[in-house]
């Protein structure tokens, strides 16, 4: 079984993320979406909210799992039996950043391969940081988010 980890903060998960996940499902038998802790980010949404949203989006696809983890991504890959890490890239700057991480991961855990997928053009400008800012100031985030996330955010405001 080809198991892959798609790590990120997913704060919140966007249509750009789901684009990568949906296309990754054609490549792997099991895709674990790992909500990780990034020491340089302060999340807006609780891990439980993000997990619930993702589970809701993929409730009909048994190949998708979602979980929270802390520590090194390659260590978590070993824990869940993932031989692959999936990452999405939007721009050249994303590629440079992701390649550096992939190179370090390969040095630490050469048995784990990183796969980079470029985001579909219509989603290349979507970033969770921008979505959070729009949401924080009362703007319309509808064009950027899956329905399950929009619903969760609406329930959160009430």
Q: Which of 30, 38, 118, 104 is nearest to 74 (CA)?
A: 104
Domain boundaries, the chain: 3-155
CA of 57: how far to CAs of 32, 89, 133, 155, in Å? 14, 21, 23, 16
User: Catalytic residue positions?
Assistant: 17, 41, 90, 128
Q: What is the mean pLDDT of residues 27-34?
A: 98
Per DSSP, 142 falls in state: G
pLDDT digits (tens, 9 = 90+) for 44-91: 999 999 999 999 999 999 999 999 999 999 999 999 999 999 999 998
3-state SS class at 87? strand
- Which pLDDT belongs to residue 4? 98
Q: Determine whether the annotation assigns residue 76 to a binding site.
A: no
The answer to whether residue 110 scores a pLDDT higher than 80 is yes
Confidence (pTM): 0.94
Angle formed at CA 29 by CA 150 and CA 4, multiple of 5 degrees: 70
Average pLDDT, the chain: 94
Rg (CA), the chain: 15
Alpha helix ranges (H) inside 2-62: 15-24, 47-57
Domain boundaries 3-155, corresponding CATH code? 3.40.50.620
Q: Determine whether the annotation assigns residue 157 to a binding site.
A: no
Q: Determine whether the annotation assigns residue 87 to a binding site.
A: yes
Q: Determine whether the annotation assigns residue 129 to a binding site.
A: yes
- Which pLDDT belongs to residue 37? 87
- What percent of the chain has a predicted confidence (pLDDT) above 90? 86
3-state SS class at 31? strand
Q: Determine whether the annotation assigns residue 23 to a binding site.
A: no
The answer to whether residue 154 scores a pLDDT higher than 90 is no
């Amino acid at each position: 079984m080809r198991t892959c980890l798609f790590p990120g903060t997913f704060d919140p998960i966007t249509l750009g993320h789901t684009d990568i996940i949906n296309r990754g499902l054609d490549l792997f038998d099991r895709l674990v979406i790992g909500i990780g802790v990034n020491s340089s980010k302060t999340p807006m949404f609780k891990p439980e909210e993000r997990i619930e949203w993702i589970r809701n989006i993929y409730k009909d696809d048994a190949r998708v799992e979602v979980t929270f983890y802390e520590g090194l991504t390659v260590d978590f890959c070993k824990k869940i039996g993932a031989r692959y890490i999936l990452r999405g890239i939007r721009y050249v700057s994303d590629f440079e950043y992701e390649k550096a991480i992939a190179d370090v991961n390969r040095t630490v855990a050469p048995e784990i391969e990183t796969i980079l997928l470029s985001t579909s053009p219509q989603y290349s400008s979507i970033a969770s940081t921008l979505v959070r800012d729009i949401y924080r100031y009362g703007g319309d985030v509808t064009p950027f988010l899956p329905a399950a996330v929009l619903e969760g955010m609406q329930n959160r405001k009430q």
